[in-house]
Protein backbone atom coordinates (compact mmCIF):
# COMPACT_ATOMS: atom_id res chain seq x y z
CA UNK A 1 0.00 0.00 0.00
CA UNK A 2 1.12 3.54 -0.67
CA UNK A 3 0.79 6.32 1.82
CA UNK A 4 1.79 9.97 2.14
CA UNK A 5 1.82 11.75 5.49
CA UNK A 6 2.02 15.48 6.01
CA UNK A 7 2.02 15.70 9.77
CA UNK A 8 1.73 19.49 9.89
CA UNK A 9 -1.87 20.42 9.17
CA UNK A 10 -1.35 24.14 9.66
CA UNK A 11 1.70 26.40 10.01
CA UNK A 12 1.68 30.09 10.74
CA UNK A 13 4.79 32.25 10.26
CA UNK A 14 5.63 35.90 10.01
CA UNK A 15 6.87 37.24 6.71
CA UNK A 16 10.58 36.70 6.02
CA UNK A 17 10.76 33.63 8.26
CA UNK A 18 11.99 30.36 6.77
CA UNK A 19 9.53 27.47 6.91
CA UNK A 20 9.85 23.74 6.20
CA UNK A 21 6.92 21.55 5.20
CA UNK A 22 7.38 17.87 5.96
CA UNK A 23 6.37 14.94 3.76
CA UNK A 24 6.88 11.27 4.59
CA UNK A 25 5.88 8.54 2.18
CA UNK A 26 5.51 4.77 2.13
CA UNK A 27 5.86 2.57 -0.92
CA UNK A 28 7.32 -0.80 -1.83
CA UNK A 29 8.04 0.30 -5.38
CA UNK A 30 11.65 0.89 -6.35
CA UNK A 31 10.66 3.38 -9.02
CA UNK A 32 8.34 6.15 -7.98
CA UNK A 33 7.76 9.86 -8.37
CA UNK A 34 7.19 12.50 -5.73
CA UNK A 35 5.48 15.82 -6.28
CA UNK A 36 4.71 19.04 -4.49
CA UNK A 37 1.74 21.17 -5.48
CA UNK A 38 0.48 24.48 -4.14
CA UNK A 39 -3.22 25.26 -3.85
CA UNK A 40 -3.93 28.98 -3.36
CA UNK A 41 -7.39 30.14 -2.25
CA UNK A 42 -8.53 30.15 -5.88
CA UNK A 43 -8.48 26.34 -5.73
CA UNK A 44 -6.35 25.45 -8.73
CA UNK A 45 -3.35 23.23 -7.97
CA UNK A 46 -0.06 24.70 -9.13
CA UNK A 47 2.87 22.40 -9.88
CA UNK A 48 6.06 23.07 -7.90
CA UNK A 49 8.38 20.09 -8.34
CA UNK A 50 8.61 16.49 -9.50
CA UNK A 51 11.37 14.15 -8.38
CA UNK A 52 11.98 10.49 -9.29
CA UNK A 53 13.22 7.89 -6.84
CA UNK A 54 16.64 7.64 -8.49
CA UNK A 55 17.48 11.30 -8.12
CA UNK A 56 18.30 12.19 -4.54
CA UNK A 57 19.92 15.49 -5.33
CA UNK A 58 18.48 18.37 -3.43
CA UNK A 59 17.03 21.11 -5.55
CA UNK A 60 16.81 24.85 -5.14
CA UNK A 61 14.58 27.11 -7.18
CA UNK A 62 14.64 30.70 -6.04
CA UNK A 63 13.28 30.81 -2.51
CA UNK A 64 12.15 27.17 -2.71
CA UNK A 65 14.28 24.14 -1.92
CA UNK A 66 13.58 20.44 -1.58
CA UNK A 67 15.35 17.79 0.49
CA UNK A 68 14.76 14.23 -0.73
CA UNK A 69 16.07 11.45 1.53
CA UNK A 70 15.24 7.87 0.58
CA UNK A 71 16.76 6.57 3.82
CA UNK A 72 14.02 8.28 5.82
CA UNK A 73 11.38 8.23 3.03
CA UNK A 74 11.04 11.98 3.27
CA UNK A 75 10.68 14.74 0.71
CA UNK A 76 10.64 18.02 2.62
CA UNK A 77 10.02 21.46 1.18
CA UNK A 78 11.55 24.67 2.50
CA UNK A 79 10.53 28.22 1.70
CA UNK A 80 13.21 30.77 2.51
CA UNK A 81 12.23 34.30 3.45
CA UNK A 82 8.51 33.56 3.23
CA UNK A 83 6.12 36.09 1.70
CA UNK A 84 2.41 36.69 2.15
CA UNK A 85 1.83 35.34 -1.38
CA UNK A 86 3.15 31.97 -0.19
CA UNK A 87 0.00 31.53 1.88
CA UNK A 88 -1.71 28.43 0.48
CA UNK A 89 -2.25 24.74 1.07
CA UNK A 90 0.68 22.60 -0.01
CA UNK A 91 0.28 18.99 -1.05
CA UNK A 92 2.85 16.25 -1.35
CA UNK A 93 1.93 13.39 -3.69
CA UNK A 94 3.29 9.96 -4.61
CA UNK A 95 2.92 9.01 -8.30
CA UNK A 96 -0.02 11.45 -8.44
CA UNK A 97 -2.15 8.60 -7.10
CA UNK A 98 -1.75 9.16 -3.36
CA UNK A 99 -1.77 12.54 -1.69
CA UNK A 100 -0.90 13.78 1.75
CA UNK A 101 -3.54 15.62 3.72
CA UNK A 102 -1.97 18.96 2.91
CA UNK A 103 -0.31 21.65 5.02
CA UNK A 104 -2.00 25.02 5.26
CA UNK A 105 0.67 27.72 5.40
CA UNK A 106 -0.30 31.18 6.61
CA UNK A 107 2.29 33.91 6.21
CA UNK A 108 1.43 37.03 8.16
CA UNK A 109 2.81 40.45 7.27
CA UNK B 1 -0.97 27.66 -24.93
CA UNK B 2 -4.36 27.44 -23.23
CA UNK B 3 -4.50 25.65 -19.90
CA UNK B 4 -6.82 22.91 -18.73
CA UNK B 5 -10.43 24.02 -18.79
CA UNK B 6 -13.31 22.55 -16.86
CA UNK B 7 -17.03 23.12 -17.24
CA UNK B 8 -19.18 23.94 -15.47
CA UNK B 9 -17.36 25.70 -12.65
CA UNK B 10 -20.21 25.38 -10.19
CA UNK B 11 -23.11 22.98 -10.00
CA UNK B 12 -25.97 22.34 -7.61
CA UNK B 13 -27.81 19.04 -7.78
CA UNK B 14 -30.17 17.08 -5.56
CA UNK B 15 -29.73 13.58 -4.22
CA UNK B 16 -30.51 10.87 -6.73
CA UNK B 17 -29.72 12.98 -9.78
CA UNK B 18 -26.80 12.40 -12.06
CA UNK B 19 -24.16 14.86 -13.23
CA UNK B 20 -21.63 15.11 -16.05
CA UNK B 21 -18.48 17.20 -15.78
CA UNK B 22 -16.27 18.12 -18.69
CA UNK B 23 -12.53 18.64 -19.02
CA UNK B 24 -10.47 19.89 -21.96
CA UNK B 25 -6.76 19.15 -21.58
CA UNK B 26 -3.83 21.22 -22.72
CA UNK B 27 -3.34 20.85 -26.46
CA UNK B 28 -1.11 17.84 -27.15
CA UNK B 29 -1.72 16.24 -23.79
CA UNK B 30 -3.21 12.78 -24.06
CA UNK B 31 -3.48 11.71 -20.44
CA UNK B 32 -6.35 13.09 -18.39
CA UNK B 33 -6.81 12.37 -14.69
CA UNK B 34 -9.69 13.19 -12.38
CA UNK B 35 -9.52 13.87 -8.66
CA UNK B 36 -12.04 14.50 -5.92
CA UNK B 37 -11.25 16.92 -3.11
CA UNK B 38 -13.34 17.04 0.07
CA UNK B 39 -12.61 18.49 3.51
CA UNK B 40 -12.95 15.06 5.09
CA UNK B 41 -11.12 12.79 2.65
CA UNK B 42 -8.73 15.28 1.10
CA UNK B 43 -7.47 14.79 -2.44
CA UNK B 44 -8.30 11.41 -3.94
CA UNK B 45 -7.51 9.98 -7.35
CA UNK B 46 -10.60 8.93 -9.29
CA UNK B 47 -9.34 7.64 -12.64
CA UNK B 48 -7.06 8.32 -15.56
CA UNK B 49 -7.68 8.07 -19.29
CA UNK B 50 -5.24 7.76 -22.14
CA UNK B 51 -6.15 7.20 -25.80
CA UNK B 52 -9.82 6.81 -24.90
CA UNK B 53 -9.06 3.98 -22.46
CA UNK B 54 -9.24 4.00 -18.70
CA UNK B 55 -5.73 3.12 -17.57
CA UNK B 56 -5.89 3.64 -13.81
CA UNK B 57 -8.74 3.68 -11.36
CA UNK B 58 -8.96 4.80 -7.76
CA UNK B 59 -11.09 3.31 -5.03
CA UNK B 60 -14.49 4.76 -5.87
CA UNK B 61 -17.86 3.05 -6.39
CA UNK B 62 -19.18 2.27 -9.84
CA UNK B 63 -21.43 5.35 -9.69
CA UNK B 64 -18.33 7.27 -10.74
CA UNK B 65 -17.45 6.75 -14.38
CA UNK B 66 -15.69 8.59 -17.13
CA UNK B 67 -14.71 8.55 -20.72
CA UNK B 68 -12.29 10.18 -23.09
CA UNK B 69 -12.89 11.26 -26.64
CA UNK B 70 -10.58 11.04 -29.63
CA UNK B 71 -9.56 14.69 -29.15
CA UNK B 72 -8.48 13.83 -25.56
CA UNK B 73 -11.34 15.77 -23.99
CA UNK B 74 -12.78 13.88 -21.06
CA UNK B 75 -16.01 13.70 -19.15
CA UNK B 76 -16.81 12.19 -15.80
CA UNK B 77 -20.25 11.14 -14.69
CA UNK B 78 -21.65 10.55 -11.25
CA UNK B 79 -24.98 8.75 -11.09
CA UNK B 80 -27.42 8.58 -8.18
CA UNK B 81 -25.80 11.47 -6.37
CA UNK B 82 -25.33 11.30 -2.62
CA UNK B 83 -24.73 14.15 -0.19
CA UNK B 84 -21.17 12.91 0.27
CA UNK B 85 -20.44 13.53 -3.41
CA UNK B 86 -20.33 17.26 -2.69
CA UNK B 87 -16.76 18.15 -3.55
CA UNK B 88 -14.34 19.98 -5.77
CA UNK B 89 -13.66 17.83 -8.82
CA UNK B 90 -10.31 18.52 -10.39
CA UNK B 91 -9.10 17.50 -13.79
CA UNK B 92 -5.43 17.38 -14.75
CA UNK B 93 -3.62 16.62 -17.99
CA UNK B 94 -0.14 15.45 -18.87
CA UNK B 95 1.61 14.44 -22.07
CA UNK B 96 1.36 10.68 -21.68
CA UNK B 97 1.76 9.38 -18.14
CA UNK B 98 0.27 10.14 -14.73
CA UNK B 99 3.78 10.36 -13.27
CA UNK B 100 4.72 13.17 -15.64
CA UNK B 101 4.04 16.73 -14.63
CA UNK B 102 0.30 17.20 -14.46
CA UNK B 103 -1.39 20.54 -15.01
CA UNK B 104 -4.65 21.15 -13.24
CA UNK B 105 -7.81 22.92 -14.26
CA UNK B 106 -9.72 25.27 -11.95
CA UNK B 107 -12.11 22.53 -10.86
CA UNK B 108 -15.85 22.06 -10.74
CA UNK B 109 -17.45 22.64 -7.38
CA UNK B 110 -20.43 20.30 -6.97
CA UNK B 111 -22.96 20.75 -4.21
CA UNK B 112 -25.48 17.98 -3.63
CA UNK B 113 -28.58 18.96 -1.65
pLDDT digits (tens, 9 = 90+) for A26-52: 999 999 999 999 999 988 899 999 999
Q: Is B60 an interface residue toward A (CB < 8 Å)?
A: no
Residue A98 with chain B: CB contacts under 8 Å: 45
Rounded to an integer, the average pLDDT of B78-88 is: 97
pLDDT in the model for residue B1: 67
Identify which of B52, B26, B31, B44 has the alpha carbon closest to the alpha carbon of residue B90.
Answer: B44
- Would an 8 Å CB–CB cutoff place B43 in contact with chain A? yes
In this complex, is the C-beta atom of B101 within 8 Å of any C-beta atom belonging to chain A? yes
pLDDT number for residue B48: 96
- The fraction of chain A above a pLDDT of 90, given in percent, is 87
Per-residue model confidence (pLDDT) at position B99: 85
| pLDDT exceeds 80 at position A77 | yes
| Contact residues, chain B, for A33 at CB < 8 Å | 99
E strands, B1-113, where? 5-7, 10-13, 19-24, 31-38, 42-50, 53-57, 64-68, 74-78, 87-94, 103-104, 108-112
pLDDT value of residue B74 = 98
Of A42, A44, A95, the CB nearest to B99: A95
* pLDDT tens, position by position, A82-103: 999 999 999 999 999 999 999 9
What confidence tens digit (pLDDT) does each residue in B31-46 have? 999 999 999 999 999 9
Amino acid sequence: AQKVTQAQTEISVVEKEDVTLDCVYETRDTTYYLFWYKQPPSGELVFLIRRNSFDEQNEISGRYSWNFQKSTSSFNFTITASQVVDSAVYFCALNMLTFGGGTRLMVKP
Amino acid sequence: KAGVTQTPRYLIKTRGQQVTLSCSPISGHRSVSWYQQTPGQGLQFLFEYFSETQRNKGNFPGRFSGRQFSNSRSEMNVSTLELGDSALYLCASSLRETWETQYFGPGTRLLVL
